[in-house]
Amino acid sequence: MAPFAVCTSPHLAHVPRMVTPTSIMFFLFFLQYVSNRHAVGQSSTEQGSLHSHHLQESLHDPQLIPCTCPLFSCQWEGHLEVVVSHLRQTHRINILHGAEIIFLATDMHLPAPTDWIIMHSCLGHQFLLVLRKQEKYEGHPQFFATMMLIGTPTQADNFTYRLELNRNQRRLKWEATPRSVLECVDSVISDGDCLVLNTSLAQLFSDNGSLAIGIAITASKVHTAGTEM
């Protein structure tokens, strides 16, 4: 069987931008992947079903997993080792390198549901950042951000990711263990087990409709039983 089959989903726009670097980040990248899932007629529920369906289909070979890109319905399945290649080549999701980076999500005003996606290569592994604008409560869109390791849950347990917003004399930091892409990103977001922003906070942290998210990965767990409150 081929390492992966090319899916037929439409490719994503890639919009590089320039902004001023800061002193606290090693790398500064400006990439935006936006897909208004209204436009492709795919809801989170449909994605979840698709994901589960793919997982069931893959039972004939437990090492095969479905496409982990939440932007589009994609029929691809393949081994974990080639997920990154699939995301880069088929979905044109760029990959950023470095322990600490900044991801600039532009056009935050786009209607929900909308996803922003970036891959982050760090400490010998690749991670997927998903920022989702979704209306859990009708008429009240919220933003949900999480990181998934392109690896197994056991591997994911070895890392901590940090998402940081810093603007207008406010700072918001979220740290957690990344989930594995073998889990469903939709359930992480529907559970609210991620960075959650209401619209007013997102506006406070945004600059001209763009939200800069500082991302950092560490290998050693900062949360131990001894330091928990």
Q: Please list every residue from 22 through 51 that binds its own copies, using CB under 8 A.
A: 22-25
Stretch that binds its own copies, among 1-9, 48-56, 117-125, 187-195 (CB under 8 A): 187-195
Binding mask 87-116 for its own copies (x = CB under 8 A): ---------------x--------------
- Is there binding between residue 229 and its own copies (CB under 8 A)? yes
Instruction: For residue 191, give the amino acid letter.
Output: D
Determine the interface stretch with its own copies among 52-60, 82-90, 107-115, 165-173 (rule: CB under 8 A): 165-173
Does residue 220 touch its own copies according to CB under 8 A?
no
Residues between 63 and 92 with contacts to its own copies, criterion CB under 8 A: none
CA distance 141 to 158: 33
- The yes or no reply on residue 175 touching its own copies (CB under 8 A) is yes
- CA pair distance 4, 181, nearest whole angstrom: 16
60 phi and psi, to 5 degrees? -65, -25
Residues in the chain: 229
Q: Which of 165, 169, 182, 164 is nearest to 218 (CA)?
A: 164
Question: Please, which residue, 141 or 151, has the CB nearer to its own copies?
Answer: 141
Phi, psi of 31 (to 5 degrees): -130, 145
Sign of CA dihedral 219, 151, 178, 143: positive
Near its own copies by CB under 8 A, which window of 43-51, 71-79, 124-132, 166-174?
166-174
The binder of its own copies chosen from 11, 53, 97, 167 (CB under 8 A): 167
- Which of 44, 26, 212 has the alpha carbon at shortest distance from 134? 44
Residues 58, 75, 186, 59, Cα dihedral to 10°: 0
Using CB under 8 A, which of 15, 46, 171, 219 touches its own copies? 171
Token pair belonging to 118: 């970036």
> Min. distance of Cβ 167 from its own copies in angstroms?
5
Q: Return the ∠ at Cα 197 (arms to 191 and 199), rounded to 5°.
A: 125
Residue 55 vs 204, nearer CB to its own copies = 204
Of the residues 214, 215, 216, 217, which one makes contact with its own copies according to CB under 8 A: 214
Q: Quick one: which segment of 3-11, 55-63, 147-155, 199-207 binds its own copies (CB under 8 A)? A: 199-207
The span from the CA of 191 to the CA of 201, in Å, is 20
Structure tokens at 149: 């390791």
Q: Could you say whether residue 172 binds its own copies (CB under 8 A)?
A: yes
* Interface ranges with its own copies (CB under 8 A): 22-25, 102, 136-137, 140, 160, 165-167, 169-177, 191-193, 196, 198-201, 204, 212, 214, 221-223, 226-229
